[in-house]
Amino acid sequence: MRTEGEDGKICQVSETSSGNLSNRLNWLRAGVLGANDGIVSTAGLVFGVAGATTNTNSIIIAGLAGLVAGALSMAGGEYVSVSSQRDTELSATRKTQQDFNADPALKRQELAESFVAKGISTELADQVVAGLSDKDVEQYSIDALGIDAEAPVSPWVAARASMLSFTIGSLIPLLAMVFTPADFRLSATIAAVITALFITGYTAAKLSGVSVVKPILRNVVVGFAAMNITYLVGMGVDALVPG
């Protein structure tokens, strides 16, 4: 944003760094949530299979199938979602550009009014807008929509990030279940999952700037419940279905 310096001249204050930091935090938060989904869903899956059988090959097959299916589903869903968001942003950008070309004076007036609404005096707002080029006014109008032209959303990047984070999360319960002796398999997996959920809950809370207690408890309780419920389902299916 541009404002008036001590010498009375119009100067520009860049907001790019704060915008890019916000984007990075959003991506990191999405990655943490993707990993969390991978942990919970795969832990539930392998526990469900473990409730029905102790056969390691069956657990590996089920776990890998769930990992691949979940990662692809996450990637596909994120790609479609971000593509739709990007299409909406491009459409809004084009409309804003068309509106500006149709009536530049109106857009300048609207920009001045937006500055006044933020607490800048009418005189200073008019002075700031008068010192802006047409390109700057147009860009401010686009920025007002919440669109970051410097860092456009990439569906492919979003899809890859979701796939990777889900895969990493899924590997934690899967590896713990597969590479632990049968007698300690369940307890080791529970310990690994609770530790991982503690970390993702703590990280998500810190990124969101909220208290860490509730997110951690919520993560651990949901993950623990998922493992117990699916384990009981597996046991029930094994008891009801003839071998």
Residue 46 is which amino acid?
V
Question: What pLDDT, on the 0 to 100 scale, is given for residue 16?
Answer: 46
32 has pLDDT over 80: yes
42 has pLDDT over 80: yes
pLDDT (tens digit per residue) in 91-120? 777 777 777 777 777 777 777 777 777 777
98-102: which pairs have CB atoms within 8 A and are 24 or more residues apart?
99/141, 100/134, 100/137, 100/138, 100/141
pLDDT above 70 coverage of the chain, percent? 79
211 three-state secondary structure: coil
Block residue for tokens 């998922």 = 226
Record the pTM. 0.71
pLDDT (tens digit per residue) in 56-65? 899 999 999 9
Torsional class of 6: left (φ above 0), alpha (ψ -120 to 50), beta (otherwise): alpha
DSSP 3-state helix, strand, coil percentages of the chain (rounded to 5)?
Answer: 80, 0, 15
Q: Which helix or strand (DSSP H or E) is residue 2 part of?
A: strand 2-4
45 three-state secondary structure: helix
C-alpha–C-alpha distance, residues 95 and 92, integer Å: 5
pLDDT (tens digit per residue) in 144-197? 666 665 556 678 888 888 899 999 999 999 999 989 888 888 899 999 999 999
Question: What pLDDT, on the 0 to 100 scale, is given for residue 152?
Answer: 60
C-alpha–C-alpha distance, residues 106 and 134, integer Å: 12
